[in-house]
Amino acid sequence: MIWKSRGYILAQLIFCLLLGLQTVAFAQNVNHTTLNVVEYQLDNGLKVYLNSDPYSSSVTGMVAVRTGSKYDPAEVTGIAHYLEHMLFKGTDKLGTVDYETEVVFLDSIQMLYDSLAMTKNPDQRLVIQSKINELSLKAGEYAIPNELDLLLDNLGSKGVNAFTGYEMNAYFNQFPANQMENWLKIYSHRFLNPVFRLFQSELETVFEEKNMYLDQFEMQIIETFAASFYKNHPYGQQTILGKAEHIKNPSLTQMQAFYDQYYVANNMALILSGPFDVDDCKLWIESYFGQLPSGDIPEFNPPKEDAFQGQEKVTDRLTPIRVSLIGFRTVPINHEDKIALDVLSYLLSNPNSTGRLDILGNDRKLMYSMAINDMRQDESGSVFLIVPKIVFQSMKKAEKLVLNEIESIKRGEIDKQKLQAVKKSMMKEDLLSLESPESRVMAMMESFIYGQAWENRLKYSQRVEKISVSDIVETANRYYGSDYLLFRSRMGFPKKEKLDKPGYDPVKPAHPQARSEFAESIIQAKTPDFKPNYMDENEDFQLDYLSSGIPIYYCKNPVNNVFEITIRFRVSKFEKPALPILAAYLNQCGTVEYPSGEYHQKLQNIAAEINISSEENYFSFGLSGMEEDLDTALYLLNSLMQNPFASKSDLKRSTSLIGVERRYEKQKSDIKARALAEYVIYGDKSSYLIRPEMKAIRKLNPETLIAIQESLFEYPCEIHYSGKVNPKEIESKVVSSFELPKVQPEKPFFVREIINYDSPCIYFLNDKKALQSQIYFYISGSVDDITTRARGKAFNRYFGVGMGSVVFQEIRELRSMAYTAWANYFNGETLNDRGYLKAYIGTQSDKTVEAIQIMDSLLIHCPWKEERIPILKNAMKQSMTSERPDFRRISYLAADWTNQGYDDDPQKAYLGVYDDLDIDALKAFHSSHVFGKARVIILVGNKNHIDFESLERFGPVIEVNEKDFMQ
């Protein structure tokens, strides 16, 4: 998994925002209790961060390392990322049945890879690769694949993963608090004598990952821009995955040396956040993590970047629309000017669309523009993304508009009231960024990586508050001068360097179900009793009804003064296809009282945000802000619900962004594959077909959309609130603030019917530009009771969900057919509706038929491993705690269960099913829901690289074009 710096992530999010894709703004905050972090160091130098949070349902744990791709040797890039993968393979005591015999083969394999890296002659390389494959097959006889994943699964873990960035590697997951000691024992052990076994299969998996990113033009423009901006530093001259020639020629010797240099205790941190006792943890941490060795960390002397000489221009063709990026050199992330740069960036563009650059887009002077601070440890930059209007605007003119706004700030043309509003919004966002254990763990990780004290991190809002107009002016003049990079991407498609499959025979471990002594010690270890944490209406939320019969859900916010309220109408976009257009319009427009610019500024003045969304079954008006401004915020939301302003300009901007999104979809194989899968499952009820065509969208007028909004009040409504105001008071505020229906309408829950296929077939779309094939399988299911749904959930975990599943092991780990592979049985929308099984593989186009053959075989002949059942039973029960939503989301789950037909927490029924779970129950589910059913294959890929004669063995091929399944 790749981790980009904050700037890289924002750059990708920009594209999502630009192209009309919805992003989620975190509404999070913490009180002093949940912000308390016990920070200390073990004798071996390991840094420890302990954050006890009694309000969370599970623990988030991470081990972070101050390393990453910038430390890769220039001649063997990609090592840090390879290591991330290999640290899931076990140790000399984990993942092996006989390490003393296995290591003889592993040592020989290591020498052969070193020899391969130095060999250029193709024939000699084939000989070496053949020897590597032969020895890998022998070494594989002693390996226990995925034993680490299965152990973490046994704990009831969720979100097991890792990432590599330019300046960090991190390994993490969530787990139940009663498994703390076992988790610490496992995570410390994985860094004691790790063994790089099964490397041959992981090599091809990294090939798959590289090809996956090559199919994404966003990564291409980001990496190409970085190479021009960071001309000397690894930030631009090396990629996280590494260069293609280095990926093909890895050195296990250099990988081991890299590990020995950087994976030492005094260069690592253990980070924990959740409901645990700090003193208990300290004893276990000392016992397990105290074993890690320390060492001498190599000094890293980053190359310096020269100043740009005037405007340095680079032009390429990488994107489906024209895009400009202007980059100024600024300061490293720990510099004192970083805060002023953050505020300056927010003045230019922000979530409320009130920034100087946002207004350019709102006023339709250009299509879109946004400011990003790409803050890093050694070198940083401020980057301005600019998208000119599709027609009749040059890139130069759009760039000039942005540069003029920067110049006006340099001249001191800053409204003090707007600056205060920006700072208030930033301080709220800072609170939100520390609310959940997951986000706090990430914040602690960054503090460790960048050498910042946690107390200093907590002072971020105070430092923002002190920023003045003069600070902004001085900062803008200091860094936004006449020397900068101008990067232009005209419409075009980047050249893709495909990494072909190595052609190795897959490793087949002789003892795939064996257990190492270490694993057995974890499985047999006594832990505190599992305590089901069922959802309780009195403890977790309160439900009341307005006099009209409208349900109002109340969730107490135990950690902050940030409220959220959502009014959602139970109306589906499949009933009213224009609802997504309405949502996009309402997010842009203002009210009769306040035009859009003034309306959004008023929201920002009180640090409030509105998010209007159209989902499969609901149309929602969402609002978040500070409790002290609740009344004002409710008034502003109601004014939008009751009196939106019919603005042709706001509508035209909304529809323009939708048009860009549609263009974007045409370039993305993964999106086209999802659309084709929806068509196969739902036919003409696919969300990509029911939506209006662009011609129809452009003909819409605001009055038509407002009429659709008024019709929402004919549908059932529900209200969700999380905050500190007590239930009776919030009920009173809702009644006085909103003009809601006097009587709750009775309308059935809308459900799309799934299509049943009597015989297998293949739906195929030819995508000539794709390196990877996107493959889905679909099998229609049945109406299932609670017991069957519980068994289905267990079957999913056994068969196709998670790193320990059959699909992941067989397709990725053993055969390297894909970077991503999964299978999941989805329940019907309600207890009266049919479910279905859906599976996915993303693979190189030349491996398409082979990957389909493997998945098809697994679906028919699922490998049954009875020895996994005790671990599965424990995992299912333990995960009932780790999968529990936080206080802001739990009322939505309660409402959804009610709408689906449950009269109580279904987990209560699930527990009994898990207690009685055996291999026969899984076989019965497979027999009734998968085996013997027609399997429909959905395939998007390059026809020139796919063996169609072999493909047709799986059913008749129905070739389609995009207009058949996408508006």
Q: What is the pLDDT of residues 714-748, one digit of tens each?
A: 999 999 999 999 999 999 999 999 988 888 888 88
pLDDT digits (tens, 9 = 90+) for 47-82: 999 999 999 999 999 999 999 999 999 999 999 999
Nearest to 46 by CA among 352, 228, 294: 294
**Tokens 């909304």 identify what position?**
654
Q: Is the predicted pLDDT of residue 13 greater than 60, yes or no? A: no
Which of 163-167, 294-298, 659-663, 763-767 bottoms out in mean pLDDT, i.e. has the lowest?
Answer: 659-663
pLDDT of residue 215: 65
CB neighbour list of residue 875: distance below 8 Å, 6 or more residues apart: 153, 154, 155, 156, 157, 797
Half-sphere exposure of 348 (CA within 13 A, CB side): 29
Give the distance, in angstroms, between the CA of residue 797 and the centroid of all CA atoms in the same chain.
20
pLDDT digits (tens, 9 = 90+) for 239-293: 988 888 888 888 899 999 999 999 999 999 999 999 999 999 999 999 999 999 9
**Tokens 């021009």 identify what position?**
228
Which of 21-30, 114-123, 643-652 bottoms out in mean pLDDT, i.e. has the lowest?
Answer: 21-30
- What's the rounded Cα separation, in Å, for the pair 817 and 839? 14
CB neighbour list of residue 195: distance below 8 Å, 6 or more residues apart: 89, 90, 91, 92, 95, 96, 99, 102, 103, 106
- Angle CA(472)–CA(476)–CA(482) in degrees, nearest 5? 170
**Whole-number average pLDDT of the chain:** 91
Amino acid letter, 390? I
pLDDT of residue 5: 34
* Measured distance between the N- and C-terminal CA atoms of the chain, rounded to whole angstroms: 33
269 against 496, higher pLDDT: 269
User: Which helix (H) or strand (E) covers residue 776, if one does?
Assistant: strand 772-783
pLDDT of residue 708: 95
Alpha-carbon distances, residue 628 vs 4, 28, 138, 632, 724 (angstroms): 36, 16, 68, 9, 10
Q: Is the predicted pLDDT of residue 523 greater than 80, yes or no? A: yes
Q: Is the predicted pLDDT of residue 833 greater than 70, yes or no? A: yes
Q: From its phi and psi, is residue 703 left (phi > 0), alpha (psi between -120 and 50) or beta?
A: alpha
pLDDT of residue 734: 93
pLDDT of residue 7: 34
β-pair type (551-556, 717-723): parallel
Q: Is the predicted pLDDT of residue 342 greater than 70, yes or no? A: yes
Sheet-wide strand order for 38-41: 38-41, 47-52, 268-274, 59-65, 169-175, 158-164
- Angle CA(439)–CA(441)–CA(445) in degrees, nearest 5? 115
- What's the rounded Cα separation, in Å, for the pair 713 and 708? 10
- Angle CA(893)–CA(894)–CA(899) in degrees, nearest 5? 95
When pLDDT is cut at 50, 70 and 90, the band that residue 498 belongs to is low
Nearest to 901 by CA among 788, 786, 793: 786
CB neighbour list of residue 800: distance below 8 Å, 6 or more residues apart: 806, 807, 808, 822, 823, 824, 839
Q: Is the predicted pLDDT of residue 756 greater than 80, yes or no? A: yes
pLDDT of residue 3: 45
Amino acid letter, 732? S
Question: In 907-952, which residue ranges form alpha helices assigned H by DSSP?
Answer: 907-915, 919-929, 948-951
- What's the rounded Cα separation, in Å, for the pair 654 and 578? 13
Alpha-carbon distances, residue 103 vs 97, 143, 186 (angstroms): 11, 11, 22
pLDDT digits (tens, 9 = 90+) for 94-109: 999 999 999 999 999 9
- Evaluate whether 697 touches 509 at the Cβ level (below 8 Å): no
pLDDT digits (tens, 9 = 90+) for 836-894: 999 999 998 888 999 999 999 999 999 999 989 999 999 999 988 878 889 999 999 99
pLDDT of residue 822: 96
Q: Is the predicted pLDDT of residue 128 greater than 90, yes or no? A: yes
Q: DSSP states of 425-463 as a string?
A: HHHHHHHHTTSSHHHHHHHHHHHHHTT--HHHHHTHHHH
- What's the rounded Cα separation, in Å, for the pair 692 and 696? 6
When pLDDT is cut at 50, 70 and 90, the band that residue 710 belongs to is very high
pLDDT of residue 26: 28
When pLDDT is cut at 50, 70 and 90, the band that residue 17 belongs to is very low
- What's the rounded Cα separation, in Å, for the pair 428 and 561? 9
Neighbours of 524 (CB within 10 A): 7
pLDDT digits (tens, 9 = 90+) for 350-399: 998 999 999 999 998 999 999 999 999 999 999 999 999 988 899 999 99
Mean pLDDT of 5-20: 34
Mean pLDDT of 787-808: 95
pLDDT digits (tens, 9 = 90+) for 280-322: 999 999 999 999 999 999 999 999 999 999 999 999 998 888 9
The alpha carbon torsion through 351, 355, 359, 365 (nearest 10 deg) reads -110
pLDDT of residue 32: 60
Q: Is the predicted pLDDT of residue 671 greater than 50, yes or no? A: yes
pLDDT of residue 496: 60
When pLDDT is cut at 50, 70 and 90, the band that residue 502 belongs to is low
The tokens for 370 are 């946004």
pLDDT of residue 936: 98
Nearest to 208 by CA among 816, 947, 674: 816
CB neighbour list of residue 102: distance below 8 Å, 6 or more residues apart: 96, 139, 142, 143, 195, 197
Amino acid letter, 594? Y
Q: Is the predicted pLDDT of residue 29 greater than 60, yes or no? A: no
Nearest to 235 by CA among 244, 247, 226: 226
The structure's pTM equals 0.92
Nearest to 803 by CA among 875, 853, 857, 884: 875
Residues above pLDDT 90, as percent of the chain: 77
When pLDDT is cut at 50, 70 and 90, the band that residue 21 belongs to is very low
